[in-house]
Amino acid sequence: MDSDEARAIFERAGCTGSLLVRPLDGSAEFSVDADQLVVPASVVKVLVALAAETWFAEGRLDPRERVVLGAAERTPGPVGVSLFEDDAELSLRDMVVLMLTISDNPCTDMLVHRLGLDALNATAARLGLRNTVVRSDLRTMLDSIGQDLGRADWGDLIAWSDRAPAAESAAADEKLPQTRALTPGAGTSTTARDMVRLLRLVWSGQAGPEAACARVRAVMARQLTRHRIASGFRAPVRVAAKSGGLAGIVRNEVGVVSCPDGRQYAAAVFTRSRPGADEAAVNAAIGAATARAVASLHHETA
Query: 194-208 pLDDT, tens per residue?
Result: 999 999 999 999 999
Whether 174 and 201 share a structural domain: no
Residue finishing a domain among 162, 184, 206: 184
Q: Are strands 238-246 and 88-91 parallel, antiparallel or unpaired?
A: unpaired
Query: Cα dihedral sign for 53, 130, 2, 42?
Result: positive
Whether 142 and 114 share a structural domain: no
CA–CA gap between residue 30 and residue 20 (Å, rounded): 6
Whether 140 and 82 share a structural domain: no
What's the pTM value of the predicted model, to 2 decimals? 0.96
CA–CA gap between residue 92 and residue 102 (Å, rounded): 16
Whether 75 and 199 share a structural domain: yes
Whether 15 and 119 share a structural domain: yes
CA–CA gap between residue 118 and residue 45 (Å, rounded): 15
pLDDT on residue 301: 58
In the three-class reduction of DSSP (H, G, I as helix; E, B as strand; rest coil), residue 142 is classed as helix
Whether 157 and 210 share a structural domain: no
pLDDT on residue 89: 97
Which of 73, 99, 100 is CA-nearest to residue 84? 73
Residue finishing a domain among 184, 217, 244: 184
pLDDT on residue 300: 63
Whether 65 and 153 share a structural domain: no
Per-residue burial over 80-91, b if 16 or more Cβ lie within 10 Å, else e, is bbeeeeeebebe
CA–CA gap between residue 272 and residue 81 (Å, rounded): 27
Cite the DSSP H helix spans in the chain: 3-13, 45-58, 92-101, 105-115, 117-126, 138-148, 154-161, 166-175, 192-204, 210-220, 279-300
Residue finishing a domain among 155, 184, 213: 184
**Residue 99 structural domain:** 3-134+188-300
CATH classification of the domain holding 84:
3.40.710.10
Whether 208 and 82 share a structural domain: yes
Query: 208-261 pLDDT, tens per residue?
Result: 999 999 999 999 999 999 999 999 999 999 999 999 999 999 999 999 999 999
pLDDT on residue 146: 97
Whether 73 and 10 share a structural domain: yes
| Contact between 34 and 18 (Cβ < 8 Å) | yes
Domain count, the chain: 2
Q: Mean pLDDT of residues grouped by 10 in the chain (302 residues)?
A: 91 97 95 98 98 98 97 93 96 98 98 98 98 98 97 95 90 95 96 98 98 98 97 97 97 98 97 94 98 89 54
Whether 142 and 205 share a structural domain: no
Instruction: Write the CA distances from 247 to 39, 97, 115, 197, integer angstroms.
Output: 12, 24, 26, 27
Whether 165 and 263 share a structural domain: no
Whether 10 and 159 share a structural domain: no
